[in-house]
Structure 1
Amino acid sequence: MILTDEEITAMLLSLKVAATAVAFSLPLGIAVAYLLSRRDFWGKTLLNGLVHLPLIMPPVVTGYLLLLSFGRKGAIGAFLDQWFGLVFSFRWTGAALAAAVMGFPLMVRAIRLSLDGVDRRLETAAATLGANPPSVFATVTLPLILPGIFAGSVLAFAKAMGEFGATITFVSNIPGETQTLASAIYTYTQVPGGDAAALRLTAISIALSLAALVGSEILARRMAARLGAP
């Protein structure tokens, strides 16, 4: 399978966007999952709903809201541009932001399920022996939820690789800058003679997503075996 320079660029950009989205959303994902799993507070149901909202809202709506908020004239986007020189709209960084938002619910859910499955008596025992809460989390909880973190990260990565609606609405479809695999496939389906290129990129997209899911399952099983899980 021979790819053109444009197709290779779209593939590499998709990998870059997905990796960046996961890397920057993972710490927040762990924190939010911990709050939802271990803390009771006013507005917990609302927070849970907001986290999972991108799963049920049309992706175009999510992209439009990102454009309103993080565009150059948006409240957040204008502030970031003026004070930090950070621009999201019509940039690959915006594609990463859109991908992170769309994959965040999957990441949080996987990590939260792992937290719910941790034996709280182990944490209590560590606290009884004098460990403070951060130490308990770092030495007891975190190792036990690593399979969930791996699973959530890979699910978010796979979602980011296939994201289209929010991305194209927020950052458009600019070759070499914001044109990911999904938007490149869409472009090729709209031009005469583009079916072959669309099929090549579709095959690559399927292969990458399947490899990510299989890899996640293998890593999760190995990690669970090391931790002595059944």
Structure 2
Amino acid sequence: MRKIIALTTFIFMVIIPFQVGSINYKNKEISLISFNITIHPDIKKFLDQFEGSFPVIKNSNADKIVAKIKEQTWSSLVDKLQSDIGMIILPISTFGKDISYDAYGFPDITISKAQRKGFSKFYMKIDLRIEPESVQFTNSYKSKYDTTQHLLMKKGDIKPMVTITLTTYPKNGIIPLGKYTGITISSNAWSASDTSFLEGLINANTKNDLTTLMGLINEAINDLSLNILS
């Protein structure tokens, strides 16, 4: 009896990882349940200098800069997931008035409620982080003794890092099916005297490089896509 239990446990442990790693999202409907964005205070302070360059929004409780970043990021993410992964991304209004939304019009609900109200094959949540590159070394030996960042950057400059994480859930059950991350880091420090890093956010001049914030976000999305496919 013990041998049977041990064998069953072993088979379970072996099979499950392969099932998780081979999730087929192609031609499957997936609904967004939340889209969280976290901007480090240093980065937000830097961006706030250019708030006047961003379009006015209807919701007075929302942040203009965050609104535009979420809008552009979502658009790029949907295009990439549909073209490269084959997902069918349902509109963010799919749940109608049955759920709550954040200040930017994106769904903001738990997976359990989404499963009760929705009808898609999969569900997903998005987490976007924009922070200084050095944040990744917080409380480490490197953060204490490596002064490279301080030597290379002038006061007031930033060198951002973008991390985007996508977590998927099944039609039934609250345990995540997959968690995928895309990361990219600016190759150079950005100065407030050069506003070209806003290209693609405040206008339609999209650049596919790491010299702009949208360029960093798009590259992180590309990295995310590759991780889903791997």
Larger strand proportion of the pair: 2
TM-score (norm 1): 0.26
User: RCO higher in 1 or 2 (8 Å CA, sep ≥ 6)?
Assistant: 1
TM-score (norm 2): 0.26
Larger helix proportion of the pair: 1
